[in-house]
Amino acid sequence: SSVFYLGQVQAVTFLFLYQSGCQLLLYPGAFNMTTGPAHWELLQQARALDNQVYVACISPARDENHSYVVWGHSTVVNPWGKVIATCDHTEQIVYADIDLNYLNDVRQQIPLTKQKRDDLYSLFSYLDEQQTV
């Protein structure tokens, strides 16, 4: 199994992202040699599409001598789910252009926030609630 699970609570994540104006998600991760090849890139693409944001996942480089061998492959995905930058399992710096105009275009093409029912779902903080008591 993986050390890190990429965005498992999707409905809450979506609400928080839109209420906070998020445009980029950064996920540290260390998928292993089983889950990495099968799920690493796929989950990043799904989170980018689900949330209409850029997703950047940062992984340590692979060390075959370590007790937990990671897949590596730090990656950046655009809001349409396309991988726009990646690397292999070695130590590298990944560069990507984050185009906020493109992000807005994607959000206009599929207007998820306009179709959301604010009267049915809301996001609140337990701490905010305690301050009003």
98 belongs to a structural domain: yes
Q: What is the mean pLDDT of residues 45-70?
A: 95
Of 37 and 1, more confident: 37
3 belongs to a structural domain: no
40 belongs to a structural domain: yes
57 belongs to a structural domain: yes
Q: Based on the structure, what is the number of domains in the chain?
A: 1
4 belongs to a structural domain: no
97 belongs to a structural domain: yes
**pLDDT of 114:** 77
Rounded CA-CA distance 51/41 in Å is: 16
**pLDDT of 4:** 43
108 belongs to a structural domain: yes
**pLDDT tens readout for residues 71-113:** 999 999 999 999 999 999 999 999 999 999 999 999 999 988 7
Out of 32-36, 86-90, 117-121, least confident range = 117-121
- Domain with residue 55: its CATH number is 3.60.110.10
**pLDDT of 1:** 38
**pLDDT tens readout for residues 3-16:** 445 555 566 677 77
Distances (CA, A) of 67 to 10, 72, 131: 31, 15, 46
Distances (CA, A) of 131 to 20, 69, 125: 20, 45, 10
Domain interval for residue 65: 10-132
2 belongs to a structural domain: no
